[in-house]
A and B are shown apart, each in its own frame.
Chain A
C-alpha cells in the first residue's frame, strides 16, 4: 500500500505543469478577487473597522476550502485514468488487493489535498502580509493546519463517491470543470452567502466544503472579529451569518456543531465511496467460492 501511495504521489508531483495548473485553479479565485472584487467589497464594508485584514482572512478561508476540493479531485482522477489505460488490471495482479488499492488512492489524494492547501496558505498569507501586513497568531495557525487535515480527508471522501461513477477521461474532465467552476460559488467564496437568494443559501448548506470554509473563516477571523465588533454580539452574529463565517441551521452553528456535521458528512461519503467497492468484492469472492 505504501508503494502504491508513493507511486500516486510521484505521478502527481512529477507532472510539474499539472501541479501548477492545479494550484492555479485555486489561485484564480484569489487573483480574481484581488483584481475585481476587493475594492468593491471594501467600499461596502467601510463602517467595519480593520475591514482590509478581515476581508483578507475571509478570502483565505474560502480559497483553502476550494483548494481542498479541487486538488483532491485532480489526484483521484488517477483512479479513472488507471482504469482506462488498463493499469488497474495490472495492479490487480499483485498481492495488494482491491480494497488496499482503493485505500491508497484515497490516502494519496488526502496527502496531496493537505500539501496543496498548505502551499496555498503560504502563498496567500505571504501575499497579504506584504500588501496589508496580515499577521496570524499561533492558535489561529494551529487550528488552520488541523482543519487542513480534516478538510482534505472530507474532500477526498466526497470526491471519491462521485468519481466511482466516472469511467472515461472525457467525463472526468467535465466533472473537474463543473466542480472547479461551481466550487467558488457553492462555498461562498466569490459572493458572501448572506447575499445569495434563499434557494442558493439552502443549496450551500448541502455542500461539505461550505462547512470547511466556515470553520476556516471562524479560525482565521475570530479574534479580529471580536476586536472589531467589541461587545456588540447581535451585529457580530448577523455579520457571521452574512459572510458565511457561521452557517445557520436553526441557530448559528458553533465550531463544535460544525465539526459534528462534517463528521456525519464524512461517514456518509465513506459509505457511498466504499460501499459499492465492498459489495463488489464480496460478490466476486462468493462467485469464486461457488466454483
Chain B
C-alpha cells in the first residue's frame, strides 16, 4: 500500500470537517474523491498531502513520497511568464534536471506560450501549466484538487486525457477530487465522501451497480392502460409518457415485451454515477 490513512479526523472548532476516514491507496492506482460542496474532499486531500495536520488519526506512506499537487486555484505568479514560473519552481527542488522545464513544456504542449505571462493565459492553458508545475519533481503521487472545474468541455477532455495518460504510461499514482461524476467512471477507485465521512468506495461500475437504478421511459397512446398493466408504481407520469426505475435490464425487457402493443416508443437509460451520487448524498443543496 503506497498510502494509508487511518481514522483520519480534522475539526475546525466545533465543526468536524473530516470524520474518521480510512483510505488505502495502491501504487499506480487512480482514485477519485467525490462529494458535494463542503463534503470534506479538499480537507481530506490537504491532510493526505501533509499541508495540514490531522486532529486525530494518521497518514502513513510506505516510503518518503515525492508529491505533486495541482491546487484548486492558481498558485503561480500572474506577472511572470510561464517559463519564469516553472524555472523558478524547478530551481527550488534539489534533484530536478536542468532540462526538466523544457521536456515538460513539450510533453504538455506549452511551447507556444512559454514566454507569455501566466496571468494572460486562458483557463485551459493555465491548467496545463499548473500540471506541468506539479510534475516538475517527477512525483510518484499526483494530487489534483478539482482540476477541471470551470473549464469548457473540450479542455476538460484534454486535461482528462493528459491525466489518464500520465497515470497509465508513467505508472503514476493519481488522486483527484471532482464535481464531474462522469470523470469518475475511469477511476480504479471511487470514494464518495459526505459530511466528512466515506459513504462508499469501490470501482465506478460497482457503485453504479449497487446504488444507481436504471430508468425506462415509455411513450404510449394509452397511458392509463399501460400504467394499469404494470404492477410497479411509475416515478413520473405525463399525458403521453411513463417512467419507471428498474433494478436491471431484464425487468425492463419483461415490461417491454409484455406491453409491446401499447408502446409507441421507449428509452432505456442505464444508471449513471449521477444517480448513484444523488441516491447516496441526497438532493438538498449545500
Query: With a CB–CB cut-off of 8 A, which chain B residues contact A92?
Result: 51
Given the interface pairs A4-B92, A94-B93, the reply to whether A85 lies near B75 with Cβ below 8 Å is yes
Alpha-carbon gap, A89 to B92, bound state (A): 14
Report, as a range, how many residues of chain B touch the other chain. 20 to 34
Chain A residues with CB under 8 Å of B84's CB are 7, 10
Chain A residues, Cβ within 8 Å of B93 = 94-95
A90 CB contact (under 8 Å) in B53, B58, B75, B137: B75
- A3 CA / B136 CA spacing, docked (Å): 15
Chain A residues contacting B92 (CB-CB under 8 Å) are 3-4, 91, 94-96
Q: Is the CB of B88 within 8 A of A89?
A: no
A46 within 8 A of B: no
> In the complex, what's the smallest C-beta–C-beta distance from B20 to chain A, in angstroms?
18
Q: Does B248 contact A (CB under 8 A)?
A: no
Contacting residues, chain B, for A95 (C-beta < 8 A): 92-94
Question: Which residues in B have their C-beta under 8 angstroms from that of A287?
Answer: 53
Interface residue? B279 (CB, 8 A):
no
Query: Is the C-beta of A15 less than 8 angstroms from some C-beta in chain B?
Result: yes
A4 to B80, CA, bound (A): 13
CB distance from A20 to the nearest CB of B (A): 15
Judge whether B77 and A11 touch: CB under 8 Å: yes
CA–CA, A86 and B51, complex, Å = 11
Complex CA distance for A291 and B73, rounded to whole angstroms: 31
B67, A93: Cβ atoms under 8 Å? yes
Q: How far is the CA of A96 from the CA of B137 in the complex (A)?
A: 13
Cross-chain contact A89 with B53 (CB below 8 angstroms): no
- A15–B119 Cα distance when bound, in Å, is 13
Please, how many angstroms separate the alpha-carbon atoms of A10 and B51 in the complex?
27
**Contacts A/B (CB < 8 Å), 25 sampled:** A3-B87, A3-B88, A3-B91, A3-B92, A4-B88, A7-B84, A11-B77, A11-B79, A11-B80, A15-B79, A85-B75, A87-B77, A89-B51, A89-B71, A90-B69, A90-B76, A90-B89, A91-B92, A93-B69, A94-B89, A94-B92, A94-B93, A95-B92, A287-B53, A291-B58
Q: List A residues at the B interface (Cβ < 8 Å).
A: 2-4, 6-7, 10-11, 14-15, 85-87, 89-96, 287, 291
A sample of 17 more A-B contacts (CB under 8 A), given A10-B80, A85-B74, is: A3-B89, A3-B91, A4-B92, A6-B88, A7-B84, A7-B88, A10-B79, A11-B80, A85-B73, A86-B71, A87-B75, A89-B51, A91-B92, A94-B93, A94-B137, A95-B92, A291-B58
